[in-house]
């Protein structure tokens, strides 16, 4: 019998958990639920203890972030002989058959390491949050279709029974094959938050696996984008962290001119928006962690079964993410990157 675990990392999520657990009560696939609490200060743990006594609760003594928090739950599932491990954000809610449909597709193709459902926004259920995530060739990660009307599905030839290969699955709602996790490892805990799902999805593909969108499976995400300064620190630092770990050296050298041009634009943006200090701190953090990054790079490159030419065939050259859209990116950054990438990718080996 297939053994499935669902991991929910919680941090002060009391206002979201009743809706999430109510929807999980109706799901058609049997799964053990693990709530990993990152030292919440609200009553969310008490709520789950009293309302859902069968849920396994792991109480961390500090906020371990998304990456390490999920790893705690994943390790518990591995120790208890899981076959599949699903992740759900605390601010999601699910359709009854979401998990059944994801696992059915994964059972039919052993090369699928991770799958995700169509993620719609809540309460605006006619709008998309994610149809799988995109990787820009300079390491930016963003959701495909975010903010688009549901008709965007039809425009992109995604019918009800379709699956589509994506660069990586959203950590907000996805399922991992345990066999693949054991091969490539868990989330990189030093990333703390942001790009950890990108990094893991990249490693799956390097090992010869696929990440897919199962469009007929559906969940909802009460998502709100926040431009807090600390987020820019993690997003920028982690972007370079992941590039240094996963690209071949030749590919890094090939994209270096584009990286320099993008850095100049990002510094201008950071100064205007007031997060230049977070940008600078990101450089220092990379230097302090360089030995660790190189050690991880060595492990990953030994794991590699797929060339960068094949890996980058799904990478994009434009950043199409509504929340960070600006004239500098739209009229200068994206056009330059499109031209550069269309030339550079022919030289990737």
pLDDT band at residue 333 using 50, 70 and 90 as cut-offs: confident
Residue 186 belongs to some domain of the structure: no
Q: Kindly report each contact of residues 123-127 with a partner whose C-beta sits within 8 Å and lies 24 or more positions away, as own/partner.
A: 123/222, 125/220, 126/150
The residues facing 128 across adjacent strands are: 120
d(CA 64, CA 28): 31
Which parts of the chain are beta strand (E)? 4-10, 32-37, 56-59, 84-89, 92-94, 112-121, 128-130, 133-135, 141-143, 163-166, 173-177, 210-221
What the block records as the tokens of 342 is 């269309």
Q: Is residue 32 part of a domain?
A: no
Bridge-partner residues for 212, per DSSP?
115, 165
283-322 tens-digit pLDDT: 999 999 999 999 999 999 999 999 999 999 999 998 876 5
Judged against a pLDDT cut of 60, whether residue 323 lies above it is answered with no
State the Cα–Cα distance between residues 2 and 5, nearest whole angstrom. 10
Mean pLDDT of 116-130: 95
Domain membership of residue 277 (yes or no) is yes
User: If you ran DSSP here, which 8-state letter would residue 175 be given?
Assistant: E
If one counts the domains in the chain, the total is: 1
How many CB atoms lie under 10 A from the CB of residue 273? 13
Structural domain includes residue 170? no
* Token duo for residue 70: 């999920």
Asked if residue 160 belongs to a domain, the reply is: no
How far out from the chain centre does Cα 326 lie? 23
Q: What is the pLDDT of residues 140-189, one digit of tens each?
A: 999 998 888 988 776 665 655 678 999 999 999 999 999 999 999 999 99
Residue with the larger pLDDT of the pair 223 and 69: 69
Q: Please give the backbone phi and psi of residue 206, each rounded to the nearest 5 degrees, phi first.
A: -60, -35
C-alpha 190/C-alpha 317 separation (Å) is 27
Dihedral of CA atoms 153, 17, 36, 292 in degrees, nearest 10, equals 40
pLDDT band at 326 (very low <50, low <70, confident <90, very high): low
CA distances from 195 to 125, 150, 320 (A): 26, 26, 17
Greater model confidence, 245 or 155: 245
For residue 270, being part of any structural domain is answered with yes
**Residue 167, in any domain of the structure:** no
**pLDDT for the residue 322:** 53
* Residue 256 falls inside a structural domain: yes
Residue 278: give the domain boundaries. 229-347
pTM over 0.75: yes
């Amino acid at each position: 019998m297939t053994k499935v675990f669902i991991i929910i990392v919680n941090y002060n999520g009391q206002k979201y958990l009743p809706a999430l657990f109510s929807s999980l009560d109706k799901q058609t696939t049997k799964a053990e639920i693990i709530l990993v609490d990152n030292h919440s200060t609200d009553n969310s743990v008490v709520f789950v203890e009293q309302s859902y006594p069968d849920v396994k609760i792991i109480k961390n003594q500090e906020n371990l972030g998304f990456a390490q928090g999920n790893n705690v739950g994943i390790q518990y599932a591995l120790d208890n002989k899981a076959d599949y491990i699903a992740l759900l954000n605390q601010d999601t809610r699910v359709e009854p058959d979401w998990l059944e449909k994801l696992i059915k597709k994964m059972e039919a193709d052993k090369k699928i390491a991770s799958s995700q459902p169509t993620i719609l926004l809540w309460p605006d259920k006619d709008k998309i949050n994610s149809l799988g995530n995109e990787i820009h060739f300079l390491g930016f990660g963003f959701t495909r279709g975010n903010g688009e009307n549901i008709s965007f599905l039809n425009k992109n030839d995604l019918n009800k029974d379709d699956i589509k290969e994506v660069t990586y699955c959203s950590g907000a709602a996805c399922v991992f094959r345990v066999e693949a996790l054991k091969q490539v490892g868990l989330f990189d805990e030093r990333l703390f938050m942001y790009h950890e799902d990108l990094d893991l999805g990249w490693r799956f593909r390097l090992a010869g696996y696929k990440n897919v969108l199962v469009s007929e499976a559906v969940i909802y995400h009460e998502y709100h984008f926040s431009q807090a300064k600390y987020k820019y620190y993690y997003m920028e630092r982690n972007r370079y962290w992941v590039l240094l770990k996963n690209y071949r050296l030749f590919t890094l050298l090939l994209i270096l001119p584009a990286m320099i041009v993008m850095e100049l634009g990002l510094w201008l943006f950071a100064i205007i928006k007031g997060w230049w200090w977070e940008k600078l701190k990101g450089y220092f953090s990379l230097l302090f962690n360089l030995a660790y990054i190189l050690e991880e790079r060595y492990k990953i490159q030994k794991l590699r079964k797929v060339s960068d030419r094949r890996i980058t065939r799904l990478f994009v050259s434009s950043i199409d993410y509504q929340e960070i859209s600006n004239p500098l990116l739209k009229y200068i950054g994206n056009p330059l990157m499109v031209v550069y990438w269309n030339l550079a990718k022919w030289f990737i080996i």
